[in-house]
Structure 1
Amino acid sequence: MSGEEPSSTQESSKTKQNHTDTNEEEADLYLDQYNFTTTAALVASVDRKVMVTVKTGQIYFGILRTYDHFANLTLEFVTERIYLLKDDLENSDNFKPKFNISTREYNRADRQYEYYAERPVGCYLIRGENVVFIGEVDIDKEDKPLRYLKKVDWRLANDIISKKRRLEHRFNEKQAVRYSRKGFS
């Protein structure tokens, strides 16, 4: 009997080890399939071309060199790009924000950009709290949409966008005051 006990103990320790190995393999498999929603998701994009949109609306294209846990990004070979609608260029002096514009209307997929402008920026550090969107760019397809757009002078495009942002900001401030008078905050 005493000869059987050590063998059953050995078998139970082997079973425990096999069970532990299986759990580790399952955990590794689980992590491989898990989509990271934190800055850990950026690991695959390091040393690749990315597009970054910031809170103020600027769009930057560049090579992601490094980042930290706050999503502070260091980009190299950066270009800033502005897209303009036909109405933006033609009616830049008469631009007025639409009242009660819905998010659906503002983000319509069929909005046709007809113009663009870009300027080289160089190396750029973007603070993580300002990042709205970051996505990897397929360098084989990056320039395809630009074929259908007309390039305009950077200063002209920047002046138009700056004016639009100022007017929209004033409009939003006035609208916030109107809403607060009615009891909305």
Structure 2
Amino acid sequence: MVYLRDGRTLIGYLRSVDQFANLVLHRTIERIHVGNRYGDIERGVFVIRGENVVLLGEIDETKEENDRLENVSIEEILEAQRVEQERRQEQEQLRARFMKERGLQYTAEIGPDDMY
């Protein structure tokens, strides 16, 4: 399992790694989590630049079977993800409006990608 800087979670078979932590995953799936539900999108062979890797680990399949997450279809999880993103955007807009009414300037949390 690989967790990337942009928040994506990839699960696959590690086929190669180099001195820069560049990875090649085989039979890769992208797992999207929303609440207690998740969906898997098949991606195939995936090449990942080492600078994008936040976390790399091995999955214990016996513990995964006992997980309380519900597996749903791709369409359902993508719709749930869209709704979640819209909800977050609305919260950010409300927060910005609240701060502006009080004479403060609000800037959303920025990450390393937003600085360039």
What band does the TM-score fall into relative to the shorter chain?
0.5 to 0.7
Query: Gapped runs of 5+ residues in structure 1?
Result: 1-50, 86-112, 180-185
The counterpart of 1:156, out of the listed 76, 81, 86, is 76
Give the aligned partner of residue 10 of structure 2.
Answer: 60
Give distance in 1, aligned partners of 2:85 and 2:7. Answer: 9
Task: State how 1:40-79 maps to structure 2 within 5 Å.
Answer: 51-79=1-29
- Normalized against structure 1, the TM-score is what? 0.44
- Normalized against structure 2, the TM-score is what? 0.66
Give distance in 2, aligned partners of 1:133 and 1:66. Answer: 16
CA 1:120/1:81 → structure 2, altered by over 3 Å: closer, same or farther?
Answer: same
Give distance in 1, aligned partners of 2:84 and 2:51. Answer: 23
User: How much does 1:135 deviate?
Assistant: 0.9
Indicate yes or no: 2:98 matched with 1:178.
no
Q: Which one has the largest radius of gyration?
A: 1
Aligned length: 98
Cα deviation digits, residues 121-166 of structure 1 (max 9, x gap): 1111112121111111123333321xx3322221231233245346
Give distance in 2, aligned partners of 1:162 and 1:129. Answer: 27
Give distance in 1, aligned partners of 2:69 and 2:34. Answer: 9
More helix by share: 1
Indicate yes or no: 2:32 matched with 1:82.
yes
Give distance in 2, aligned partners of 1:68 and 1:167. Answer: 40
Alignment RMSD (CA, Å): 2.7
Query: Gapped runs of 5+ residues in structure 2?
Result: 100-104, 108-116
Cα deviation digits, residues 39-70 of structure 1 (max 9, x gap): xxxxxxxxxxxx11112211111111111122
Task: State how 1:1-185 maps to structure 2 within 5 Å.
Answer: 51-85=1-35, 113=36, 115-145=37-67, 148-165=68-85, 168=88, 171=92, 178-179=106-107
Q: What is the percent sequence identity of the aligned residues?
A: 32
CA 1:78/1:117 → structure 2, altered by over 3 Å: closer, same or farther?
Answer: same
